[in-house]
Amino acid sequence: MDNEDTPSSGSHSSGTRSSHPSAQSDPQRPAASSSGTVAGPGTGSTTADPAAVGLSRTLSHRQMAMIAMGSALGTGLFLGSGQAIAVAGPAVIISFAIGSAIAATIALTMGEMASRYPVRGGFGTLAARFLSPFWGYLVRWLYWFVTLCVTGAELVACATYLQYWFPQVHLGWGILVFAVAVIAVNLYSVNSFGVIEFFLSSIKVIAVLAFIIVGLFFVFVGTGSHPAPGLQNWTNDGGFLPNGIGAVWLAMSIVMFSFGGIELLSVSAAEAKNPARSIRVAAQTTIVRLAFFYVMAIGIVVALVPWQSAAQADGVEQSPFVRVFDYAGIPGAASITNFVVLIAALSAANANLYASSRMMHSLSVDRLGPAFARYTTRRNVPLAAMSLTIVFIVAVAILAATGVGNIFGLLMAIVVFSVTLVWALILVTYIAYRPTRDGLETFHAPGGTVMAVLGLIGLVFVFSTVVAVESMTLAAMLGVPAVALMAIAYAAVFRRRVDAAEIDESFVEAEQARTLTD
């Protein structure tokens, strides 16, 4: 991972600007900067050297919005919501509303920073600049681990949905089948990934809208064989708060998994054609859609199906959304819904595999990760970085095959624990960034520092469930030593590899890309 390992023909973050004279002499010519990202509009075409380390800017603003939506709108809503309902009953609606508000603070503050500085490494590079290199290092490693676990959880969900039709297919084999599909999509090129992710995310967005419309009809109108229940199921079986107000707090340990993925707004900024516009549009639309989808959809689920029937405290064999249509007795609708939620999970796995490879590539280029992970293919795909995620996927499949109990629930808990730390560091970074604003950001987070502080309070509220939720306690037992090891590794090895000039180079490339597309 030292300098001599760097391929001479590829761009590297430790290189100097003088190594790219053409980029300086001709500002209109897109070039692979020292930050390792190909500036300018790029087409995702091949590079001259297979050992290149650059990424390409080919994502449109619609693709970016759908990538973030694809990561967040997945298993947390369609499958994990059953566990949240089991904890809080109908009051899970409050948990999702609080979760939406917390997620909004993350998306908007992160979006403002990324609209000004669309750097490779996303919020990790921003933390290195505005906090310290250590925090930039830590938040990137934490987020890489988050994306690993989310990818694994989404693939477990895909295999679980498959068992709705084919119960004889073992969970482990199902995981591997769907893993091959998302790996193939990610391997081709970032542009093809963006197109496919846009398509997959569009399917589930349309499906959720259809579910809401049909659900509202059954809730308030009904049919002859299924009279409209109205909102009486919200208060039946023990009332709206059957397990008390404390259950709303406990459910947050599950609910916040649903919002994991909004960070992709920042990560994907390094591959956006027009980062200033793309990030503004993506940040503003994504959080509104997610809040509406989550709160409305969960409200309909607990209105149509008694919460004790929708709850899945002992397993994840079926989505609550499938149970809604099973309960209503609509022929074939349950299978259609199961197909949609499978697509949703597949889309989220696809998006998180993308995120994990980009984050590890960023770490490697900055010499804060394995040296081999810096290499990209001729299509600018970080295959070497992606291989580490593939190894983890295989491990998840093996664990599932050996019958490890509730692997999905454990992965969810690890994600919530880790992503809470990531989000907290994003908000702290924003607080440090705020006084440095120069007016060139394309939109402003409403409330500014006050909103960021409120978001931090909300995250403390979520993180405190570690003392009461068994899976969160286990996640902390794994997570705290892991963070300590990361800190020790930084002090012993990586601290000497950090160069402030390298961080500055990432900002130089981002500024070039931003100004070229203004």
| Res 397 pLDDT > 70 | yes
Q: State the pLDDT at residue 74.
A: 66
Q: Count Cβ atoms below 10 Å from residue 438 Cβ, excluding itself.
A: 6
Distances (CA, A) of 144 to 57, 285, 421, 492, 503: 21, 25, 13, 21, 19
What amino acid occupies position 482? A
Q: Count Cβ atoms below 10 Å from residue 491 Cβ, excluding itself.
A: 11
Separation CA 143–CA 359 (nearest Å) = 8
Q: State the pLDDT at residue 67.
A: 67
Q: State the pLDDT at residue 40.
A: 35
Q: Where are the alpha helices (DSSP H) in 46-132?
A: 61-72, 75-78, 81-88, 92-116, 123-130
| Res 8 pLDDT > 80 | no
Separation CA 264–CA 53 (nearest Å) = 21
What amino acid occupies position 13? S
Q: State the pLDDT at residue 276.
A: 65
Question: Is the model more confident about 296 or about 208?
Answer: 296
Q: What percentage of the chain has pLDDT greater than the value 90?
A: 22
Q: State the pLDDT at residue 518.
A: 53
Give the domains, in start order, of the chain with CATH numbers: 61-436+458-502 (1.20.1740.10)
Distances (CA, A) of 376 to 32, 330, 379: 13, 49, 8
User: 351 phi and psi, to 5 degrees?
Assistant: -65, -40
149 neighbors 309 (Cβ within 8 angstroms): no
Q: State the pLDDT at residue 10.
A: 35
User: 329 phi and psi, to 5 degrees?
Assistant: 70, 30
pLDDT band at 245 (very low <50, low <70, confident <90, very high): very high
Average pLDDT of the chain, as a whole number: 78
Q: What is the pLDDT averaged over residues 362-379?
A: 85
Helix %, strand %, coil % for the chain, to 5? Answer: 70, 0, 25
User: 289 phi and psi, to 5 degrees?
Assistant: -65, -45
Q: Which of 7, 10, 9, 12 is nearest to 367 (CA)?
A: 12
Question: Is the model more confident about 2 or about 66?
Answer: 66
Q: Mind listing the pLDDT tens digit for each residue in 111-135?
A: 888 888 888 778 888 999 999 999 9
Whether the pTM exceeds 0.75: the reply is: yes
Distances (CA, A) of 165 to 172, 315, 338, 342, 350: 16, 17, 9, 12, 22
Question: In Å, how far from its chain's centre is CA 350?
Answer: 10
Tokens 């900002």 sit at which residue?
Answer: 507
* Stretch among 136-145, 444-453, 472-481 having the lowest mean pLDDT: 472-481
Q: State the pLDDT at residue 503.
A: 78
pLDDT band at 11 (very low <50, low <70, confident <90, very high): very low
Q: State the pLDDT at residue 23.
A: 34
Give me Rg for the CA atoms of the chain: 22
Q: Mind listing the pLDDT tens digit for each residue in 404-456?
A: 666 777 777 788 888 899 999 999 999 999 999 988 888 888 899 999 999 99
Q: What is the pLDDT averaged over residues 345-372?
A: 86
